[in-house]
Structure 1
Amino acid sequence: MQAKYRVALAILFALWMAQPALAADQTPDRVTIPADGKNEPATLDAMLFKPQGQGPFPAVVAMHGCSGLWSSKNGTKLSPRHADWGQRLAALGYVVIFPDSYGSRDLGPQCKNGDREVEPYRERVEDANAARRYLQTLPYVNSAAIALLGWSNGGSTVLCTVRPKDTPKPDSPDFRAAVAFYPGCTALADKGDWATRMPLLIVMGEADDWTPAKPCKTLAAANPDGVKLILYPRAYHDFDNEAQKLHELHGLAFTANDDGVAHAGLNPAARAAALKDVPDFLAVLKR
């Protein structure tokens, strides 16, 4: 048992060492995106990370979860998870944009709100495509190499955006690939007709009791050629958030047991694995 434990620690250490160095002075720019959708504000606020150099770079549209984009109520500081992923992906050579679906509509966190004005299958799909179109206007972005990524409610947005029925008009290149962190798969799995039009990676904790893994297994099993599902043992929701210790949440609008109770927080082994698995999957944008 001790030998297996030492091997596991060695693998975890190697994964951490393999991560890119983050630029200490790398800060995102606040930008404004034309919305151009139904039931939208005229514009969306967003934060943009840009790698060093001239490009053209591949890019990622990153969709926040139900807690929103910010760690401060006044919308001036990105949450640690978003800042961390933005810096890491930029260090790997990706432009990363985070559209603010809630703050742009004068809304706060929505995790405890069961009657939401902004839905993953409606407004947030439009937000994702608006961000893609904005990136495609930037001279340093490779317009044909853009991926979509999202966490939780943003992950559910990913699942809705990649459906064949939600294919955007052919006025610009579509997303090339997508990544969903612990999305809510239940409603789509229950309908039984979900599919993806592009390669999709789903990463989630096997123990997730907020957005359970079983419905996502159903989606992946029905789409073996389009979906890669990675489940991390003993990990819960928000396993990649280094700034959040594992804790119990109450009063949530949607949970696995419909009791409003779920666990969320860091799992170091799952985080280390995701920091390798996600960039490995996104490398298709550089080919």
Structure 2
Amino acid sequence: MMSSLVRILLLAAGLLPCLAAAAGAGGYERVRIALDDVQLNAVLYRPQGPGPFPAVVALHGCGGLWRDKDKLSTRHSDWGERLAAAGFMVLMPDSYGSRGLGSQCGVKELTVRASRERVIDAVAARHWLQARPDVRADAISLLGWSGGGSTILAAVRSDRSPADKQLDFKRAVAFYPGCRTQLESRSFAARLPVLILMGSADDWTPPAPCDYLAKAARARGESVNLVVYEGAVHDFDHPRLDMKQRDDIAYSATGTGKATVGTDPAAREDAIRRVKEFLAGK
């Protein structure tokens, strides 16, 4: 739980955003999340108008948030702009860069783990948003890609439900997460509606474990739905990524450290529609 002092400081930051962030290129602001032991840099996309707005905490994958020092990755800028145009405040915490780390795709012994540190980052981001007067505190959702998607699954577990459920996340979207860890956990249960989006040809995080996970969750009465796009691979929602094979990853379905990535225009278009509708509660 947040201390009263932290709440006051965060509220002040929300009332005086110009003191907490400097405007950046591409329609986003660079902001700083300071909550108890969590210190994170982040990117914020804000819709036009006074609000209050529903919001999304968006979690990057193993490659991190940035393309290079001063350029947000194309995927993140595309989704940030799209969701802001649809009326959502979008906060993207930088879990790696904030800790002095670069891409973690080829790292086997992670120090910033999906099931621990990154879940803490997501919760801190939610608290930061809920302290802002231009955000609807009861309408903050989660969105994540790959390793960020795996974080989503860890964050929505029922055994991680906050004490004040009125301030919980609303719903969650996971793009091509690794589902095996949660599938093998006997205690996994989703407390929120979850939408999982994957490609049938994904050889980095294959869909089969997520299919089993979703079916088991629905059998228990949980709202966990999986959409699998035929022939699509990892990163299918990227705005413009030529199909290619990566050979620099720590874990892959084949065990070779290689996986195929690339945009699938049809899957991308359908995913954009589904995500907007799902986050809007339709």
Q: Which TM-score tier does this pair reach, normalised by the shorter chain?
A: 0.7 to 0.9
Instruction: Verify: 1:199 aligned to 2:196, yes or no.
Output: no
State whether residues 35 and 127 of structure 1, in contact with CA within 8 Å, keep that contact through their aligned partners in structure 2.
no
SS of the residue 1:211 aligns to: coil
Residue of structure 1 in register with 2:48 after alignment: 52
Paired residue type of 1:272: E
In structure 2, the residue matched to 1:34 is 34
How far apart are residue 192 of structure 1 and its match? Answer: 3.9
* Structure-2 separation of matches of 1:247 and 1:68: 19
Deviation of 1:165 (Å)? 1.2
Aligned residues: 255
Q: Which amino acid aligns with 2:205?
A: T
Structure 2 SS opposite 1:278: helix
Task: Find the aligned partners of 1:275 and 1:157 in 2 and give their Cα distance.
Answer: 20
**Offset of 1:242 from its aligned partner?**
1.6
2:279 paired with 1:282: yes
Report how far residue 172 of structure 1 moved: 6.5
State the shift of 1:188 in Å.
Answer: 1.6
Q: Supply the distance in 2 between the matched residues of 1:102 and 1:251 (Cα, whole angstroms).
A: 18
- Structure 2 residues without counterparts, runs of 5 or longer: 1-24
Identity %: 50
Alignment deviations for residues 205-225 of structure 1 (CA, whole Å, 9 cap, x no partner): 111100010000011000113
Shift of 1:246: 1.1
Q: Is the 8 A contact 1:148 1:158 kept in 2?
A: yes
Q: Distance in 2 between matches of 1:192 and 1:254?
A: 23
Alignment partners' CA distance in 1, 2:162 and 2:203: 33
Alignment of 1:29-178 (within 5 A): 29-37=29-37, 42-72=38-68, 74=69, 76-170=70-164, 173-178=167-172
User: Aligned partner of 1:259: which letter?
Assistant: T
User: Deviation of residue 170 (structure 1)?
Assistant: 2.2
Structure 2: how far apart are the matches of 1:27 and 1:200? 28
CA drift at 1:34: 1.4
- Pick from 229, 232, 237 the counterpart of residue 234 of structure 2: 237
Q: How does 1:240-255 map to 2 (within 5 A)?
A: 240-255=237-252
User: 2:204 maps to which residue?
Assistant: 210
Counterpart amino acid of residue 88 in structure 2? Y
Alpha-carbon shift at residue 259 of structure 1 (Å): 1.3
CA distance in 2, matches of 1:281, 1:198: 12
Deviation track 1:146-204 (CA, whole Å, cap 9, x = no partner) reads: 00110000000000000011122328700010000000001221234321101000001
Shift in Å, 1:122: 0.3
Mapped contact 1:202–1:228 kept (Cα < 8 A)? yes
Structure 1 residues not aligned, in runs of 5+:
1-24
Structure 2 CA distance for partners of 1:260 and 1:59, relative to 1, 3 Å: same
- Residue 77 (structure 1) shift: 1.5
Whether the 8 Å contact between 1:178 and 1:200 is mirrored in structure 2 is yes
TM-score after normalising by structure 1: 0.86
Supply the distance in 1 between the matched residues of 2:226 and 2:127 (Cα, whole angstroms). Answer: 28
Cα displacement string for residues 28-55 of structure 1 (whole angstroms, at most 9, x for unaligned residues): 0000001434xxxx51000000000001
Paired residue for 2:10? none
Give how far 1:265 is off: 1.1
Q: Secondary structure at the match of 2:196?
A: strand
Relative to structure 1, the CA distance from residue 110 to residue 35 in structure 2 (aligned partners, 3 Å threshold; closer, same or farther) is farther
Q: Verify the 8 A CA contact 1:239 1:271 in the aligned structure 2.
A: yes
TM-score (norm 2): 0.87
Residue 223 of structure 1 aligns to a residue in which SS? helix
User: Could you tell me which residue of structure 2 aligns to residue 259 of structure 1?
Assistant: 256
Paired with 1:27 and 1:109, the residues of 2 have a C-alpha distance of 24
